Structure 1
């Protein structure tokens, strides 16, 4: 791209001067800026991208298919292609200035301070709510492994079932959030790619070997469930917050578009396989997490659940660290280490409270996907791209595609958010 013509825009907004903008500095830290030494190879960046896109969405994808029906698989492909395209738009926006290091910088490049605030708000809200889903998932699956477990603390305080396991999981996770250097956790979380493949294999094993079979016929199309399905599909591809960081980490940044294609194709095959398997096995009776349907006592079921439980322990801290770092940049005084631990402990406690209050994994993830992931993964990349480069520098077909994405994304966000909130309220 022509960086020379973009430079005046930078100075006009004044949002990306590294030495002058404290917001830019903490956004860089918050997103764990890439190591300056050498840069990552194509293969390693692909691995990191796959790890970013492979997560809790894999467990809920059969439920999403059940909500929308078999024909909604087409929408999964559409969402994948749209999110891959908007990821490439972010890469193009980064090419407009060498000062762009993270997603908030793109917002600042397009709209100045207000743009940085808007992008940061949606990004941090998404990073905060996803760990809540992790805790709910831990509680649900541990309750399936150890049914009937309870703990009495006296004075009428009794924790039982998944509420107990949510609290216990948070206690085990808490020390990992105190680590300032998450390099070790980053390597541990890389196991998420392998875990995603293992999960699909375990579900297939349960169907073929453990006798579950493929009895679920399902429905062709469920119009009323499409908003929820779209929200969950979008949640599966909500890696845009870290795409700029991954791009900057590469030795050859111009190859990042190829990385995106590889990651989205591989993840779509994995998500599609899990969706089809789970829906064929359990039909419309599939739970919000397919592991909750698996037969008790079987080795494949235990392996699937244990594999699903490992990921949150390594990824929880990585997700909340950008949020904690942003708060610390504003509040840290005196004993920085002690205050940092207090801030991170408070964040964990707050996520536990919400997880105990809204223990509906499928509905919460649909809400995150509809409200936050659609905005961060579809709308903001398109809007920022048009603002930075202008319609005059884009071809008519490109503008038409981007405008269509904005319109459809807005509809999905509105309908999906309303539907998810309605279902959460109905559950109370």
Structure 2
């Protein structure tokens, strides 16, 4: 663990309560990460989203939000990821989970250096100034935005399977049907959740998403044991050419780092966030592993990018699985896009008390923009592989490592920790390069 040897002459971990004027404030303000005279509107805006200490979310509610951020869409694509890499690639899933959990711990340590650090972009600013804030914001918001688009594509695919042939006439010669119709309808249903600004309230919606993820696994198991699908899939032990895609999708399963700082700030007792992270990652890994094994045993290399698309039509388990799948994006869409919306509001909206209408209009526009792109790029599996390989690896692995080392310095960390972080940076870079190239090739081929 990193220690404050240079600042205090001892070996105790650095904490938010440490008074280190030579470390905390000069870094913060000299780099332009946060300005002392910053307009109070931004502070109030953060308070609207991240509850103050006496009104913050409990550990249980934060745990639900964390589980909701980590589980969901990746659960549907995890059998496809296993099919791409083969059975032996499954050993990489807990490895990726452990690395991503450790990265969450690093982000928390970075935040502990200053109480003014409110979100992931602030960590970038703390490390590298305005350029760091811009880089972190770019990758983070792009990841969250594309994940939200993936939610809409998923909803359209599964509703079209559940209600094939559905169409709606909007006038002479204008007919919207199938997947496109359902994407639009789903966005209308999801829109009110985007107007929620308090993560403590959003935890109730998150709880439904967590339950839905567990129910989904049982539905797939029911299809195999009761509805006659069985375990007939013949999978490969190892597919080296598919490993980049598999690793990208595995990483995508744990791409909640962009919202971790927001969740941490929303807690009453922020010192318990580390334990909450461990619980979330262990629970999600068990759920992901179960679904990967079930789906690959059932369908082998024929598994679709969403395992629900393989399930037999008309069976109760299939219908329940799809209905359960539809709950996940509803519960997660707002959680993913809330940091994006908050950042835009702070940048564009003027200070004042009459901001609610403007906030709603801005968040509505964000939803509309995701719908337009979802209608244009309908390749769920390839899109998620691209997000996982490039953006999730960058946000969940590379940026936490780089920011942590730059903020604390190698002199404040043990040699073992520096070596571990260096290894993660190298391997993460290889995964990002290989997975991005592979997924882009597939997207271009689909077009």
Within 5 Å, give how 1:23-422 maps onto structure 2.
25=43, 28=46, 32-37=49-54, 39-179=56-196, 184-332=201-349, 336-422=355-441
- Structure-1 separation of matches of 2:427 and 2:84: 19
- Structure-1 separation of matches of 2:271 and 2:185: 45
- Structure-1 separation of matches of 2:337 and 2:181: 22
Aligned to 2:9: none
- State the SS of the aligned residue for 2:50: coil
- Structure-1 separation of matches of 2:388 and 2:146: 10
Partners of 1:26 and 1:329 within 8 A in 2: no
- State the SS of the aligned residue for 2:176: strand
Partners of 1:39 and 1:250 within 8 A in 2: yes
The offset of 1:180, in angstroms, is 5.0
Aligned to 2:31: 13
State the number of aligned residues: 427
The offset of 1:148, in angstroms, is 1.5
Structure 1 pair 29–118 and aligned structure 2 pair: CA distance change class (3 A): farther
Structure 1 pair 109–182 and aligned structure 2 pair: CA distance change class (3 A): closer
The offset of 1:324, in angstroms, is 2.4
1:378-424 alpha-carbon deviations (Å, 9 max, x no partner): 00100001001111111111111101111111111111111111111
Query: What is the RMSD of the two structures over their aligned residues, measured on CA atoms?
Result: 2.3
The offset of 1:176, in angstroms, is 3.5
Structure 1 pair 300–18 and aligned structure 2 pair: CA distance change class (3 A): farther
- Structure-2 separation of matches of 1:10 and 1:331: 23
- State the SS of the aligned residue for 1:159: strand
Query: Any gaps of 5 or more consecutive residues in structure 1?
Result: none
- State the SS of the aligned residue for 1:37: helix
Moved more, 50-59 or 336-345: 336-345
- State the SS of the aligned residue for 2:169: strand
- Structure-1 separation of matches of 2:131 and 2:45: 14
Partners of 1:53 and 1:267 within 8 A in 2: yes
Structure 1 pair 87–168 and aligned structure 2 pair: CA distance change class (3 A): same
Partners of 1:15 and 1:113 within 8 A in 2: yes
- State the SS of the aligned residue for 2:23: helix
The offset of 1:155, in angstroms, is 4.2
Superposition TM-score, scaled by structure 2 size: 0.89
The offset of 1:39, in angstroms, is 4.5
Structure 1 pair 150–234 and aligned structure 2 pair: CA distance change class (3 A): same
- Structure-1 separation of matches of 2:377 and 2:277: 34
- Structure-1 separation of matches of 2:67 and 2:326: 18
Partners of 1:205 and 1:300 within 8 A in 2: yes
The offset of 1:321, in angstroms, is 2.9
Query: Any gaps of 5 or more consecutive residues in structure 2?
Result: 1-12
- State the SS of the aligned residue for 1:158: strand
- Structure-1 separation of matches of 2:266 and 2:365: 31
Moved more, 230-239 or 178-187: 178-187
